[in-house]
Structure formats: C-alpha cells, structure tokens
Amino acid sequence: MVSRLAFGLARRLLIVRGGVEMKKLTWKPILANLREALEELEGTYLRLYFLDLGELPDDCPRFGDASYLDLLKRQEERNPLDEMTLFVSFEHAYHHLNWAWNCRRAPEERVWRCADNDFSRWIRFPDTAVFADLWPQNREVKGRMGQLRGKVSLMPTRIFLQMARRKLNILCYLVAKELGGDWARPKGLYPEIGAQPLTEKDFARRMHRVYVELNMAWNSRKDKTFATNKCAIARRRLFPSIFATGRYNMWWKKM
C-alpha cells in the first residue's frame, strides 16, 4: 500500500514522453522569461529594420502605424543607436533566456520566490553539455563596457536578430501550447511542429538555436558584410564574454 502511494506521488512529478519518463518542466516561469526576451528583441529588431531600410517590417502589424514610425524617428534623434544601446537590449534578452533555461527544473514556487543564490545562478549562460559548442576555450572576460561606443553594422545584426526572433517566437508558441495557451501560431510553421508534446530534449535544441542566432547577431555588430569562412562563423557562434561586465554577470564561474 505504501509503495503504491509512493509510486503514485512519483508519477505526478514525471511525464511520459515517447516511452521515456522525464521530470516535468516548470513551463509557466519558462514562458514568462521567454516572453520578456522576445519583447525586448522585437523592439530592437524594429529599430534596426527602420534604420537599415527606412520602413517597418510587414510581419509586425501591431507596430506598423505611422505613430510608431514617428516614435522611432524621434528616438533616433534623441538617442542614436550605438553599441551601448544594443548591449543593454541584448543583456536584458540574455538575462531572461538564461533564466528560462536554468530554472526549467526548479519548483514553480521557488522560481517565483527567487532567492539571491538562485538568481545569481540562473542568470548565467547555460553550462550544460547541450551548449558546450557555444563556449570559447578560454572563459576569461574580454572587453569593457566603456569600449562600446561605436556604430552598429545594421544589416548583419538585423538579419541574425530576425532569425533569433523568429526561432524564439516559435519556442514561445510551443511552450504556451504545453500550458494550453492561445499564443498565435507563427506563419509558415510546418504542420508537424507542435503536433507532439514538447520534451526537454526538444526544448534544449530550440534554445540552442536561439542562442546561436543571438550570439551571431551580437558578434557581427561590427561586420560590414557577412563572413563566410568556417573560422569566422564558428567564432561568432560563441557566447560573448562582454556580458560579464554589465548589470548581470552572465559569465561562467563556479558557484
């Protein structure tokens, strides 16, 4: 009787996916953080798009009116986009992406309570084997915030950020689907995507894709053209160490 009761309680903490029992992820805090990151990247992407092409993209209808266009013009006159502005935006997005991944197995009450030691651990770049290829061999901090005063190369940054934004929107849709939410299905999504429950393995794979595109966007901010050689592409995929110098220390160190 006791063993049956213990087994039943354990089953509540597990979910069967494809014949494999996995610990259920805390989807609500994950979605909350992914949504924050997406909203941050949306605003930055629209600004880059406007500065690069002089208009707003068609896939952002809620920002497509003339009043928002005038707002972007006034914003650029008052505070032109430079590396520091981009840094603050990316720092905020990385903060919530890291949090979404690192808190994925924590109890929901613990995530919302967020003790200081949890906060400092969850905001770091993920150090699991899934993301091992995104870490540089030398994990020393490079660069200083005072150096971030130059202009941003609009076209490469915009295109990689567009891809990061697209992949993050799909991930938000899939997580919201796990919660029974009504997140709008992204356009052009294959019918089979979302047909099966989202496993932790799938979640990790899609998070990896978002990180790659976001890293590429930041690391290409000074490029005038796209680098096509393998060494340059491999270098631009890596986590940027400059984000250890801002408000949140996202760089690696043992806790």
pTM for the structure as a whole: 0.86
Amino acid at 88: V
Cα–Cα distance for residue pair 46/58, rounded to 1 Å: 11
Cα–Cα distance for residue pair 23/82, rounded to 1 Å: 43
What pLDDT, on a 0 to 100 scale, did the predictor assign at position 235? 85
- pLDDT, tens digit (0-9, with 9 covering 90-100), for 82-113: 999 999 999 999 999 999 999 999 999 999 99
> What is the DSSP secondary-structure string of 7-59?
HHHHHHTEEEETTEEEEPP-HHHHHHHHHHHHHHHHHHHHHHHHHHHSS--TT
What pLDDT, on a 0 to 100 scale, did the predictor assign at position 13? 43
Helices (H) and strands (E) in the chain, counts: 9, 2
What pLDDT, on a 0 to 100 scale, did the predictor assign at position 197? 93
What pLDDT, on a 0 to 100 scale, did the predictor assign at position 5? 47
Identify the segments of the chain with pLDDT beneath 50.
1-2, 5-22, 255
Q: DSSP alpha helices (H): ranges in 187-247?
A: 200-219, 230-236
